[in-house]
Structure 1
Amino acid sequence: MESFNSRLKTAMEYKNIKPADLSKMTGIGKSSISQWLSGKYSAKQDKIFIVAKALNVNPSWLIGADVPMNDETVLDRIYNVSNKLNKNRQEKVYDFAKQQYNEQNNIVELPLIKEVEISGAVSAGTGEYLGDGHKEIVSYNGDVPVHDFAVVVNGDSMLPLFDDKQIIFVKKTTEVRSGQIVIADYDQQAFVKKYVSDESGSRFVSLNKKYDDMTIDENHESSIFGVVVL
């Protein structure tokens, strides 16, 4: 059987409440609460009920009994946790819960068609010009990640990762790590390639091995627009 001080500590940590906070909530001195937490002595019955009410826990649980901490449902616990998440993570919790509901009830949802703004095309082949300023809104069936711009792939040099005419999403950056898939300007043409940098030098690499590597050196103008996000 757990002790009062152990259960009190658990409840306060769960609620993210400090001794000073609990003191304000209950009118009980902070020094008394600190002594309870240290195990120096336990609270008297009247104080236990006051603390249990403030922390929204079962008084019997608080003194160590083998009973539920409170009457909080699973959904209450999910809400309390997800309420502290950022918006993107909250949406993931919602999507998972919706998926579980659909599976439970044998519901088949049709894919949601989204609209995506396309900034041009990049080559997975022999080269493509990117950046005439023209943008086009197209329908897209799938998850849209956080991105700065989207482009269409032309060619097959990045098979099997990217198909010809596939829409890909890009985060703008000039700082990349070896192994990342990037959108790059190479001799004034835009490509989607794997950036590789090792002891033999830096280069843009095609996943389809029928295409040669593109060496990054003083003989070629090159820059990076951003990293592809999947």
Structure 2
Amino acid sequence: MNKELFISRLNFAIKTRNYTQYSLSKKTGINKGSLSSYMSGKYLPKQDKIYILSDALDVNPEWLMCSSDDMELNLPNEFGFDEDSEVGSYPFIEDSVSAGVPNLISGYNYLNHIQIPDFFLGRYAGRKDIVVLKVNGDSMNKIIPDDSIIVVLQDVPLSSLSTDDIVVFSYNYEYGVKKLIKDKSNNRLIFRPESHESCFEDLIVNYGDTNLQIIGKVIMYNVML
């Protein structure tokens, strides 16, 4: 198991499933010290703990073990749901993030919609400020593989975002998806790639830079089949 990739995926799953170390410890019965060690990479969990974590986080254990790119469990279509599942319909912008997306959905005269099961979105199900995008490129391939689709919660204030949140943003009219680092001591924001390739670099932007716009926060993703 790739330790670096496992750390990224575990932390991403914990964040997107809205757990804390304390709440995940209570859910799984794994003590907080062990969870902290898994999250930092001090040591890796044994297979039985992988399955416990996967069950609690509702993710594919093969994904957590880094042997699959499919985060979700047993998904027979784009997002995975059986015909009896409750589903919602959400706008789908087929242009890749790296190729640019409009600042507002209303920039399009017409948008296709994609169905997503409520169980997949959890507490976000039914929200009107969700948009689905496609990711093209390898700058985040430690966490989000090329050709994935991402679910984005729009118009999240910068003050509500945390370090390590994954965001879609525009800077000087170029769009991207990166991990956000809030460097408050230096009054700047860092947009960091999470890639197996070494060619990608941080984008550093000062707080208040008017060329920056946060489009939204990535709340989930799935590989496009």
TM range (shorter): 0.3 to 0.5
Structure with higher Rg: it is 1
How does the TM-score come out when normalised to structure 2? 0.45
Higher-RCO chain (CA-CA 8 Å, sequence separation at least 6): 2
How does the TM-score come out when normalised to structure 1? 0.44
